[in-house]
Structure 1
Amino acid sequence: MSSTFEKYFVPEPSHFPIFGSAALLLIGSGAAMWLNRVSPGSWMVAAGFATLIYMLFGWFGQVIRESEGGKYGKQVDKSFRWSMGWFIFSEVMFFAAFFGVLFYVRVLAIPELSEGKSAMLWEGFQRAWPSGGPLVEEAFSPMHAWGIPAINTLILLTSGATLTWAHWGLLKGARGQLINGLALTVLLGVIFLGLQAYEYSHAYHEMNLKLSSGIYGSTFFMLTGFHGMHVTIGATMLTVILVRCLKGHFTAERHFAFEAVAWYWHFVDVVWLFLFVVVYWL
């Protein structure tokens, strides 16, 4: 009895991980120096991002060439799927920590500051949300759900539908549907980011809602800002996938890169639904 085993592809040694590590070192140390007003800080951050972009283009370009060259088999595909799954799980834990902060503040910290011995220290502090905390005296207006946040929710939900429509086009070999669906998804992502930028400008200049607006301001911008960063990353990845589709990449049987980005985008959609309910609505 004979059996055949698929040869697992082992890539050749690469210099790109070193560039990635150097980029993170430059960005981290440069940001620390920049925040402390040390002059080379901003230049180090810029150099770090330039190095990171070089690494991303080079490393992912190599992976694309290997994939299109037919070097990846079922075992490699399985490894990629597990890796993307664990990456998204780490992102879930990332946002879970931030939601945990908001839960602690609203359910535990605010009541504690307004009751018992703490009430003697912070006389007159009211148990209410939104709140800047007992040390913030400057007035601000909270962000309401019905307006740009509700529109952005509709936009992200629609983008999830257009991405699924594009996936259906890929599975049935309809390249036009695939490309149009991806283009619409990218466009909706860009519109979302534009509206969020307008919302931030409105918050700062019209509502006096800033990062310095106590615990409400810091949690609001932390949660929505990091989500906006993820939308930016997702839209960038979708753009790369769109370019690859225009070049004829992917088939109905082999298209994990498309699926991985779709997983990530749907994750971003789901996180926004939680944000809309917890941060804006409640």
Structure 2
Amino acid sequence: MSQQGGGHYYVPAPSTWPITGSIALLFMGFGAALSVNRIPLGYGLLATGFAILVYMLFGWFSTVARESESGKFNKQVDKSFRWGMSWFIFTEVMFFGAFFGALYYMRMHSVPDLADLNNKILWPDFTAEWPTAGPGITEKFMPMGPWGLPAFNTLLLLTSGVTVTWAHWALKLNKRGQLKLGLFLTFALG
């Protein structure tokens, strides 16, 4: 990052990009709700929302890139960006920790509790086995096999990790063509 920003912390001017993103999400939300109910207007609203979102992303990211390349950011701004990303990663870790904690609780506590003697009055045929379709459901739960769609999704995830690493190294080596190609492939794989 450039050090021309001086000793002050750069605070950008008020921006219209957050409200633009909110409008995009509004269009996408209504469009998705109407599309699920097969109302033709929903597809147009959904497409409009995606178009506004893409416009907002390109506009906002280019604004931040222009500010950075013009030397307005200093070490303190760089540190703020790094802390922001660190907090984002922390919240993702906490989200998945809570998700897997809930899965553990359901598997080890909830399912056996549903099959104990006190609940046999409500669901006499329920057995505590995992995976379960739940009490009151007579059909057997069939988990998805590891090959097919799960293997394909895993391959996509790992490949996108390779392409984003390639883009990162291209950025460090100042190879903009490879950077753009690596980011495009990562986005396409996503």
SS of alignment partner, residue 97 of structure 1? helix
Deviation at 1:74, TM superposition (A): 0.7
Going from structure 1 to structure 2, the CA distance change for 1:160 and 1:22 (only over 3 Å counts) comes to closer
C-alpha distance in structure 1 between counterparts of 2:184 and 2:157, whole Å? 9
In structure 2, the partner of 1:179 is 178
- Give the whole-Å Cα distance in 1 for the aligned partners of 2:103 and 2:95: 13
Match of 1:200? none
**Aligned equivalent of 2:144:** 143
1:137-176 per-position Cα deviation (integer Å, ceiling 9, x unaligned): 33452124467646765775576567557656655x4849
CA contact (8 A) 2:67 2:73 kept: yes
| Amino acid in the other structure paired with 1:183 | G
Partner of 2:132: 131
Distance 1:70 1:52 in 2: 27
Name the structure 2 match of 1:54. 55
Structure 2: tracts of 5 or more residues without a match: 1-5
Match of 1:115 in 2: 116
Residue 103 of structure 1 pairs with residue 81 of structure 2: no
Summarize the Cα distance change of 1:19–1:157 in structure 2 as closer, same or farther, 3 Å threshold: closer
Distance 1:63 1:105 in 2: 44
C-alpha spacing 1:25/1:136, structure 2 compared with 1 (3 Å): same
**Amino acid of the structure 2 residue aligned with 1:179:** Q
| SS across alignment from 1:120 | coil
C-alpha distance in 2 between matches for 1:53 and 1:155: 22
Encode CA deviations 1:4-43: one digit per residue, 9 max, x unaligned.
x613222222111111122223333444454456664444
Describe the SS at the equivalent of 2:139: coil
Q: Give the Cα–Cα distance (whole angstroms) in 2 for the partners of residues 74 and 43 of structure 1.
A: 44
**Pair 1:185–1:147, CA change in 2 (3 A):** farther
Q: Residue 21 of structure 1 aligns to a residue in which SS?
A: helix
Which is richer in helix?
Answer: 1
**Equivalent position SS for 2:11:** coil
- In 2, are the aligned partners of 1:163 and 1:185 still within 8 Å (CA)? no
Partner of 2:69: 68
- Please give the per-residue CA displacement for 1:89-127, whole angstroms capped at 9, x wherever unaligned: 222233233223322221111101111211221112111
Partner of 1:19 in structure 2? Answer: 20
1:203 maps to which residue? none
Distance 1:23 1:184, change over 3 A: closer
Provide the C-alpha distance between the structure 2 equivalents of 1:52 and 1:174, rounded to a whole number of angstroms: 29
Q: Which has the larger radius of gyration?
A: 2
TM-score (norm 1): 0.52
Distance 1:183 1:85, change over 3 A: same
Q: Deviations over 1:166-198 (max 9, x none)?
A: 656655x4849x938x739946x83xxxxxxxx
Take 2:34 and 2:156, find their aligned partners in 1: how far apart are those partners?
38
Q: CA deviation at 1:46?
A: 2.9
Which stretches in structure 1 are left out of the alignment for 5+ residues? Answer: 191-231, 233-282
Count of residues paired in the alignment: 184
Which residue of 1 is the match for residue 3 of structure 2?
none
Match of 1:195 in 2: none
Distance (Å, rounded) in 2 between the aligned partners of 1:31 and 1:138: 31
Cα 1:45–1:86 change in 2 (3 A) is same
| Inter-partner Cα distance in structure 2 for 1:72 and 1:10 | 9
The question of whether the paired residues in 1 share the 8 Å contact of 2:9 and 2:76 is answered with yes
